[in-house]
Amino acid sequence: MATVEELVVRNRSCRRFCEARRVDPQTLTALVDLARRTASAGNRQPLRYMAFTAAADCEAIFPHLRWAALLKDWRGPAAGERPAAYVFVLAHTADGGIPQCDAGIAMQTLLLAAAERGLAGCMLGAVDRPKLAGACGLPAGHELLYVVALGEPAEVCVLEDARGGDTAYYRAADGVHHVPKRQLSAVLLSGARTAALAALLAGTLLSGGCRTVDDRFYWPWEEPPQVDSARQEQALLRAQHDSSLNRNQIEGLVQTQQALDTRLGRLEAASAENARLRADIAALRRDVEQVRAERDSLRKEIVDDLTDRIAKYMATVGAGNRPPTGATLKQSGYSHKVETGQTLIDIAKAYKTTVTAIRKANNLKDDRLRPGMTLFIPDPSAP
């Protein structure tokens, strides 16, 4: 579990996120629950919150935000890198208090808790408040103070010592976001009261037999070390500087490793998904080939059957209404020699007559025919 110090160092303003990795509403509710329990001036508790996690809500909010004023050539996160959730910090004007002070405490607590959960965020004050109020339906009697953007980080942010008083953050060529911070010696000041107390203490100790060497007090029974104070102070400063650089480098490496672990996890998940998709596609292709083969086989059977039927029909019917080739015309009819496979129905159709007429003209008791037998076919057009 991360310590408070680790969370404070890790909690940097993040402006690029894994937009597809949504933040669930329960997590957002838990973060707001922590924020509402923070300190409040006079305990007036004027802050209210609105939480948004739905993709449609996030899409409506994004156009009304302004990002990273110091990155002049960057217009904000692109599609796919935008926040996956937002928390609006509002002031209920009727409660009074000092909402700006309370908001800073609440937002920092919310972001520290988000960092503990593997999330990152950014406090945004440069927002189009009237348009956001209209788009998100802010209740009456409330003022929008800040917007907190949240999501899984898609960038690495590192701290470094400010040089020459320059505290402007910047993004390096490798995409790493650098945040210069003033050194402790520049922000921890010694006031007049501290100097007066030190002088009083020095007088008291010296009157009691204590000694001072290189601005350090020693009790009467202590022997001051025989060292070069200037060289010792220089070595101490150098060690402090090196230690600060080492801490920054380690923190940068830790954050880089976390970002790489996140990317590796996404790539491994995508690779597994791609493997499954390739297997599904291969199986689908096999099914398609099988269906295509069955279709071609069935099509060939149908075509062959139709071709055979048409050939038989044309061979039996002939052209027009003329009798079949080889038929001998007799008085009021034709003489027909039965071929193998022919039936009375086939012969009747060929001569445009009826089975009954052929059976009657040939004194047939049934429809059985013998190949080679000769039948008299009455002319259907004869009176």
Pair 181, 79 in one domain = no
Task: Name the pLDDT band for 289 (thresholds 50, 70, 90).
Answer: confident
Q: Give the end of a domain, one of 289, 317, 345.
A: 317
What CATH number is attached to the domain comprising 76? Answer: 3.40.109.10
Does 99 lie in the same domain as 37?
A: yes
Do 142 and 234 belong together in one domain? no
* Terminal CA-CA length for the chain: 114
Q: Within this chain, do residues 57 and 86 fall inside the same structural domain, yes or no?
A: yes
Whether the predicted model's global pTM rises above the 0.85 cut: no
Which range is most confident: 131-145, 199-213, 264-278, 289-303?
131-145
Q: Is the pLDDT of residue 228 over 90?
A: no
Phi, psi for 327 (deg, rounded to 5) = -70, 135
Q: What is the DSSP string of 301-344?
A: HHHHHHHHHHHHHHHHH-STTPPPTTPEEETTEEEEEPPTT--H
Structural domain total, the chain: 4
Distance of CA 46 to the CA centre of its chain: 36
Is residue 218 in some structural domain?
no
User: 61 with 145, same domain?
Assistant: yes
The enclosing H or E element of 33 equals helix 25-35
Query: What is the residue whose two structure tokens read 């988000």?
Result: 114
What average pLDDT score do residues 146-171 get? Answer: 92
Shared domain for 255 and 347, answered yes or no, is no
369 and 270 co-located in one domain: no
What does the pLDDT read at residue 309?
Answer: 74
205 in a structural domain: no
Q: State how far the Cα of 336 lies from the Cα of 296, in Å rounded to an integer.
A: 42
pLDDT at 322 over 60: no
Question: Are 37 and 24 in the same domain?
Answer: yes
Token look-up 């935000």 returns 65
Strands 177-181 and 157-161: parallel
Q: Does residue 22 sit within a domain?
A: yes
Q: Is 211 a member of any domain?
A: no
Which domain, by its residues, includes 43?
4-155
| Residues 291 and 339 occupy one common structural domain | no
Q: 171, 177 in Cβ contact below 8 A?
A: yes
C-alpha dihedral sign at 216, 221, 226, 232: negative
| CB atoms closer than 10 angstroms to residue 147 | 25
Alpha-carbon gap, residue 114 to 152, rounded angstroms? 10
150 and 172 belong to one structural domain: no
Residues 372 and 336 in one domain: yes
Instruction: Based on the fold, state whether residues 293 and 332 are members of the same structural domain.
Output: no
pLDDT single digits (tens) 162-189:
888 899 999 999 989 999 999 888 888 8
DSSP annotation of 163: B
CATH of the domain at 346: 3.10.350.10
